[in-house]
Amino acid sequence: MTEILLIRTGQTLKDSLNWLIYSPIEQEIIASGEIANATQLGELTEKAQSREVVALLPSDQVQLKTVTLPTKWNRKLEQALPYMLEEEIACDVDDLFIAIAEPTLVDEKHAINIAMTDREWFEQWLAEFNEHGIEVYKILPDALLLPDVDDNTQLRAIELNGQWLCKQGNWHIAAVEPNWLAGYLTALGNPDVAHFSPATAFPDTVNLSAQTQQYDLPLALFAKQLPEVKFNLRQGVYQLKKKSAIWWGYWQKAAIAAGVALVCSVGVKSLELYKLNNQLEAAKAEVVANYQRAFPNKKVRPQLIRSQIRSELALIEGGSTAGFLDLTNDLVSIFSEVNDFTPETLRYDQGRNELRIRARGKDFQSFSKVKAILEQRGLTVDQGSLNNDGDYVVGEIKLRGAA
């Protein structure tokens, strides 16, 4: 998950704004601060790049409400919702922006949670963010992000900018001035209070439960709760239409680096494959050439070369008892006894049980030594003509076994 930039707006464009950058991966605050008013939002433009921006609205500007329904929530009820609220609000319903949250139940009756705010005020803040190039991914009332506690009937509270932000249950929030706390708590029936910052303004009659392990900057506490709250005021006509740019900005460098690495890897593998193919072709050509030297009167079929070699060897092995293999066994040992003596071609006459070897030696004595060793082993050896070929001597030896 990318880093998050939280911006808490004021009630008006002239009020100060709090901001905080939080890393969900590291679970730590990267930076935080305050700007004097909305005209200075440009100071946060660069910080908003490659980060997920969440705007928090003051809870006294957003009213949360649960509306009882005659039936299960559906599209027709959504269209009728503004008219269902007309008798319960003090302003023209057309002046409100109504955001839909989760369906719920109230005393086993179908209901829907909604959030309402002044449409002109809401659009004013959206325009300010757009004017300063800040794309806001999510918008929430601040107190909605107060954490749950073991007893959900407790009122959760935290102090921010001289106000107490409060939440009771899942869908009741308020922003209360310190001198209104007693009256507000009385109206709620004096519930117990779990507070996430030092509580100094509460009446002595209230049971307080300090959540000291979770004491933190208010915006940091809110950032940690973002995954738990699925609601978003950016919906309907205000829904964010271009979401991919947020993630692209964050992953751009990594994507470019991965692309370069992939291209390099493909290039290296292609070069290796090219070299291996060349080696394979060279090996095939060498096998064919050797076959043609060994069996000059045979037609070569490269795709069947392995079968052809096996067939020729089978024919050879099918001869007399002192056949090809016996002769070559005697010949092979010569190579370790006589230095610089190398056969170039072998020809076997099965009818005469004769093996003709065209070979290359270091000098004339090499051929004489080979002939002497073979004769000592009881073989008949005829030496043909010998010729100088540069630094070597080339000649032919006929090797026969017992008739």
Residues 112, 261, single domain; the answer is no
Give the per-residue SS3 of 322-380: CCHHHHHHHHHHHHHHCCCEEEEEEEEECCCCEEEEEEEECCHHHHHHHHHHHHHCCCE
Residues 234, 261, single domain; the answer is no
* Mean predicted confidence (pLDDT) in 57-67: 96
- pLDDT top residue among 199 and 308: 199
- pLDDT top residue among 265 and 228: 228
How large a percentage of the chain has pLDDT more than 90?
A: 54
What pLDDT, in 10s, does the model give residues 348-394? 777 777 888 888 888 888 888 888 888 887 788 888 888 887 788 88
Q: pTM value? A: 0.62
Residues 61, 192, single domain; the answer is yes
Residues 219, 149, single domain; the answer is yes
Spatial CB neighbours of 181, under 8 Å, sequence gap ≥ 6: 164, 201, 202, 203
Q: In the predicted model, is pLDDT for residue 65 greater than 90? A: yes
Spatial CB neighbours of 193, under 8 Å, sequence gap ≥ 6: 154, 155, 156, 157, 185, 199, 202, 206, 207, 208, 209
pLDDT value of residue 391? 81
pLDDT value of residue 143? 98
Closest CA to 143 of 116, 180, 170, 111: 170
Residues 47, 187, single domain; the answer is yes
Q: In the predicted model, is pLDDT for residue 335 greater than 90? A: no
Closest CA to 103 of 138, 75, 82: 75
Q: What is the mean pLDDT of the chain?
A: 86
pLDDT value of residue 217? 95
Q: Domain limits at 395?
A: 321-400
Instruction: Kindly report each contact of residues 379-385 with a partner whose C-beta sits within 8 Å and lies 24 or more positions away, as own/partner.
Output: 379/327, 379/330
List the CATH number of the domain containing 200: 3.30.420.380
pLDDT value of residue 340? 76
- pLDDT top residue among 390 and 317: 390
Do 229 and 140 form a contact (C-beta atoms < 8 A)? yes
Q: In the predicted model, is pLDDT for residue 291 greater than 70? A: no
- DSSP H helices, 106-200, are 119-131, 181-187
Residues 266, 368, single domain; the answer is no
Indicate the number of domains in the chain: 3
Residues 283, 172, single domain; the answer is no
Residues 58, 205, single domain; the answer is yes
Spatial CB neighbours of 159, under 8 Å, sequence gap ≥ 6: 165, 197, 198, 199, 218
Q: Which of residues 286, 317, 348 is at a domain's end? A: 317
List the CATH number of the domain containing 373: 3.30.1360.100
Helix axis angle, 305-317 to 244-294, nearest 10°: 30
Q: Which of residues 183, 209, 238 is at a domain's end? A: 238
Residues 253, 208, single domain; the answer is no
Residue 122 CB-density burial (10 A; 0-12 exposed, 13-18 middle, 19+ buried): buried
Residues 116, 228, single domain; the answer is yes
pLDDT value of residue 295? 64
Q: In the predicted model, is pLDDT for residue 320 greater than 50? A: no
Q: Which of residues 317, 340, 369 is at a domain's end? A: 317
Q: Can you tell me which residue has the tokens 């090809």?
A: 324
How large a percentage of the chain has pLDDT more than 70?
A: 84
Residues 18, 110, single domain; the answer is yes
pLDDT value of residue 400? 79
- pLDDT top residue among 259 and 304: 259
Residues 161, 198, single domain; the answer is yes
Helix axis angle, 305-317 to 324-337, nearest 10°: 100
